A and B are shown apart, each in its own frame.
Chain A
Amino acid sequence: MTRNSTPIKRSPSYTTTSEVKDQIEALIGALNGILLGKEDAIKLALACLFARGHLLIEDLPGMGKTLLAHALAKVLGLSYNRVQFTSDVLPADIIGTSIFDKNTSEFRFIEGPLFAQLVLADEINRATPKSQSALLEAMEERQVTVEGMTRPLPEPFFVVATQNPVTQTGTFPLPESQLDRFLMRIEIGYPEPDAERELLRGGDRRKALETLGAIIDLQGLKKIQQSVDDIKVSDPLIEYIQRLVGHSRQAAEFAYGLSPRGAIALLHSARAWALIHDRSHVVPEDVQAVLPSVVEHRLREAADYSGHGGGALAQKLLSGVDVVG
């Protein structure tokens, strides 16, 4: 898949502070050092988190999914927990459980691995639907309810889930309702030959991960997220997004169209992408760059209703809609 990353000249009415810009550049640089030759995937992952969205990484085992998630937590300076999903993981294993304390004669809540700023839900589609759904409230409300008590999750709260392609054995496909809660679904893909040669030569990347420190703090992350909100959007661009969404609802090859939440997700991701590319406003190139990651997991082909939302659909959506109204 080719991502359109045509260089766009910086506009004169440039508003992001150079501090934010430098931080973002540093983040990308650091992550590039861990996951070699995957700048687009890194940028998308960052854009997703900057847009306050949860991220789903789908790829074959051994492509660096976990590595990327862990590296993200480190460079962003977030507390990090990992949940390894299997078919016998229960909701209590994720959220936590109450244990009777002999000394105080009271039940004490032991927080589960969900109580971290960045949770890596590894191989989420190996879990049973019951455990998958335990993540649901957490992701949407950023809080969990256990035994009648509602407990807030840390702020910020990100779920980075990884999953194996659904066609692999031993997987439970995520339901649409849950897929919809992920802002983006990205793939990493095989490395380029150059990157792979360097990878082979340089040894285990996990060692590099250990030396990796936080590049920004919580304050910095909030500032970046604020900057995303400040990215401007013009009427012609909003109309373009409306045309895209409208096409997905009307054209016959889509089993169903994009929801309003999908439309908002698309716009917000495009904003984050614009920020990463140092623009004060969104251009169609931004929308087109994030569109496959944002919509692929939200769409189904009409001809293959139960099938896996395909990249072909995103391309059909892009080619079927005129950028210029």
Chain B
Amino acid sequence: MDSPKVNEALGVAYQIPRNSLALLMIAQIVVVLPYFMQLSPWIIAVGLFCGYWRMGVYQGRWDHPRRWIKALLVIASFAGVAVSGVSAYSLEAAASVLILAFALKLIEMKGRRDAYLVIFLGYFIIATQFLFDQSILVAIYELIATIMVTAAMVGMNQLHTRVRPLASLRLAGSLVVQALPFAIVLFLFFPRIAPLWTVPLPMGATTGISDHMTPGDIARLAQSDELAFRVVFRDPVPANKDLYWRGLVYSDFKSGTWSLGPQFKPSHPRLDENYSGEEIRYEVLLEPTMSNWLFALDTATAEASNVARTLDYRLVADDPVMSVFRYEVVSRPGELMDDRLIPVIRVREKKLPEGDNPRIRAFAQALYIDSGKDVATFIDAVLRHIRQELFSYTLQPPTLQREHSIDEFWFDTRAGFCTHYAGAFVFMLRSVGIPTRMVGGYQGGEINPIGNHLVVRQYDAHAWAEVWMAGRGWTRVDPTAAVAPERIELGLNAALSLTDRAALSLFTSVRMGDWGFLGRFLDWTDSLEHRWNLWVIGYDTRFQAGFLENLLGELTPTRIGLAILLGGSTSVGLVAIALFWRRRPVHRHPVERLIRRFGDRLAGFGYPRVASEPPGAFIRRVAEEAGLEATQVDNVVAELNTLLYNPSGTRSGTEIRQLRGQLRRLQFRLAFSLSH
């Protein structure tokens, strides 16, 4: 901190101009605003307090804080972050400290140096926001924030007598726009270098389907119209009833909750080259889930090296999915899953807790004996039972007890949705010793008519069962289809009762219903977001490599460097040409063109025309320096002045040609005299 005496010595030149300060403070607010979503409210409160203090200083009511107050604030802020519950090395903690420092700088900044520090911090904070969110809206917002911060920097360099905030904003805007082509070139070509250190990832709860499932989970998801993933099909889109997006396999059942069960090391299987059945190729753009499981149709093989397949045919990513994740999948519906069942899986998929749900066990065993102990007949019998008895499909079923929950559902409440039916089904099959498992994922999806991609949302979440049968491998059985076939054929909306539908959120109803304009608008925003994911966020190392190989052939550092250089200079050149074109003289007099050319030629002899020199004076000066008589150029000068400045004189092509000839002759004469 400077003592007041030193400050006086620094003088006006080192102070922040008042008007620029206002702009700077607005820019600061704009930059910090999006963090309100991620950081705890007290940090914002500190920011507002600092802003209020600074306003007081700005209006001359308050003074800058004393040194011990500043020290206290800094210590208190750090302590606050430490006790606020975020872990010490998390992104939230780092961002909190950054924002706090930024806010505290408000009351501390005095000189230009401080202001520049705040401006550079502002750019840094803009970049940091993308660690939390990379959606198109955030990108647009941060572009505006960049313009604001740049405007503050422009403002800092204005004379204090000539401050025009709007003009600085305009200038900053055009600066940013002019920089965009070069930014695009860098985005396309600049190598994506793996980080030298790990950036801690933002904390956040898993979204979507989780690794354990209680019957209430899917009902909760059905309330949400949040995006799960988008799919771009290379092949024709299968029918809705075949769109089972398999994500998780639940093998363990305990106290009414299904969970994953023991896991084994995933592998990278190769595609079987002898396969000749149907094949579906597509690319999935998965929204962040904070977990590593991926969704695909049966039987899926991923083509990326960072996606592996587990023993139960699930796709998993190497790392948790923190931003939009792209992966290409080949699905072969005809390929068997586990034609031979290995013991660990057999054990895993037959296990049941002892003593739970005795009534349904007895029921299943009786039915199994009735079906002649044939698996297919038994499954039919169970499904027939569901169809024929008074089971109903609803998103708002009565709450079940933790113990004997399946008994309660099967015999007493008889109302539920996919999880209930799939759960009961799996339990019954396991209780008679058939390897069966519960599968979670999504079912269906909507085609966006604008982007022609499939959109799967959280309300498409679904659970079904898989039964292992000799010779057929794991076979999908969906008990929900027995109680509510329209759920599978047409989607959730068709299967919902009026009371269920009333409980949905507005956007969910809009998406499901036919709301005309609003629905089309949502389609449009969805396809916009999709393209953003496809071309901007999904443009990662792998896609960059593909793009560059298409463009440059073999990738060598020289070629990439040349591409950046060439692309960069082209983009900068284009901007320069555009600017030049905009400022080109709208209309240039033919005689003025002649004079310019004449001046350029004489500049070649070392006699350049001074900009402020009238054409006649220029010719006379050069003639004099060349030792020519003034009378020798009188004629040319008179002719030139008449053509250029006497509006009543004629200005036909012949006269201009004559003048051109005269100037050329004069040029030769001058060249001759000057060289002697």
Contact = CB atoms under 8 A, between A and B. Distances in A.
Contacts of B620: 6
Interface in A296-325: 302-303, 305, 318-325
B531 interface: no
A7 to B, nearest CB: 9
Contact of A11 (B162, B589, B615, B638): B638
Nearest to A284: B614
Given A235-B589, A325-B585, A281 B161 contact: no
Contacts of A282: 645
B154 to A, nearest CB: 13
A288 B614 CA distance: 9
Q: Of B161, B585, B610, B646, which is in contact with the most chain A CB atoms at under 10 Å from its CB?
A: B646
Given A235-B647, A302-B161, A323-B613, A12 B589 contact: no
A61 to B, nearest CB: 33
A234 B647 contact: yes
Contacts of A319: 610-612
A28 B592 CA distance: 34
A232 B646 contact: yes
Contacts of A281: 645-648
A302 B159 contact: yes
- Chain A CB within 10 A, most for which of B592, B615, B645: B645
A233 B647 contact: yes
Interface in A214-272: 232-237, 252, 255
Given A9-B637, A325-B588, A283 B159 contact: no
A79 interface: no
B595 A11 contact: no
Contacts of B634: 9
B656 interface: no
A: interface residue count bin? 20 to 34
B616 A285 contact: yes
Interface in B576-604: 585, 588-589, 591-592, 595-596, 599
A323 B611 contact: yes
A280 interface: yes
Interface in B454-474: none
A4 interface: yes
Given A6-B617, A305-B161, A324 B596 contact: yes
B642 interface: yes
Nearest to B611: A322
B186 interface: no
Nearest to A237: B645
B238 interface: no
A168 interface: no
A252 B645 contact: no
A32 to B, nearest CB: 25
B592 A324 contact: yes
B165 to A, nearest CB: 17
Interface in B601-660: 609-617, 620, 634, 637-638, 641-642, 644-649
A252 B614 contact: no
B616 to A, nearest CB: 7
A2 interface: no
A8 interface: yes
B614 A283 contact: yes
Interface residues of B, number: 32
Given A9-B638, A280-B648, A236 B611 contact: no
A13 interface: yes
Given A236-B645, A252-B159, A4 B589 contact: no
Contacts of A232: 646-648
Contacts of B641: 8, 11, 283
Given A285-B617, A302-B159, A305-B161, A236 B644 contact: yes
A318 B610 CA distance: 11
B518 to A, nearest CB: 48
Contacts of A323: 611-615
Looking at B614, B616, B644, the one whose CB has the most chain A CB atoms below 10 A away is: B614
A325 B648 contact: no
Nearest to A234: B647
B615 A13 contact: no
A325 B583 CA distance: 12
Contacts of B591: 236
B521 to A, nearest CB: 44
Contacts of B162: 252, 255, 302
B636 to A, nearest CB: 10
A213 B649 CA distance: 39
Contact of B589 (A285, A303, A318, A325): A325
A234 B646 contact: yes
Given A321-B612, A323-B611, A324-B592, A234 B645 contact: yes
Interface centre among A11, A13, A234, A252 (most CB of B within 10 A): A234
Contact of B616 (A283, A302, A305): A283
A325 B615 CA distance: 11
Contacts of A303: 159
A282 B634 CA distance: 18
A303 B585 CA distance: 31
A318 B613 CA distance: 9
A303 to B, nearest CB: 8
A232 to B, nearest CB: 5
A321 B638 CA distance: 23
A232 B645 CA distance: 8
A281 B591 CA distance: 17
B614 A13 contact: no
A314 to B, nearest CB: 11
Nearest to A323: B614
Contact of B646 (A13, A285, A302, A325): A13
Contacts of A322: 611-612
A8 B644 contact: no
A284 B641 CA distance: 9
Interface in A173-209: none
Contacts of A280: 646, 648
Contacts of A324: 592, 595-596, 599, 609, 615
A26 B592 CA distance: 37
Contacts of B638: 8-9, 11
A13 B649 contact: yes
Contacts of A321: 611-612
Contacts of B649: 11, 13
Interface of A: 4, 6, 8-9, 11-13, 232-237, 252, 255, 280-285, 288, 302-303, 305, 318-325
A-B complex: 9 closest residue pairs judged by Cβ atoms: A284-B614, A322-B611, A281-B646, A234-B647, A9-B638, A319-B612, A236-B589, A234-B645, A283-B645
25 contacts: A4-B614, A8-B637, A13-B642, A13-B648, A234-B645, A234-B647, A235-B647, A236-B644, A252-B159, A255-B161, A281-B645, A281-B648, A283-B614, A283-B645, A284-B645, A302-B159, A303-B159, A305-B161, A319-B610, A319-B611, A323-B611, A324-B595, A324-B596, A324-B615, A325-B585
Given A252-B159, A283-B614, 18 more contacts: A6-B620, A8-B641, A9-B634, A9-B638, A11-B642, A12-B642, A255-B161, A283-B616, A283-B641, A284-B614, A284-B645, A285-B616, A302-B159, A320-B612, A321-B612, A323-B614, A324-B595, A324-B609
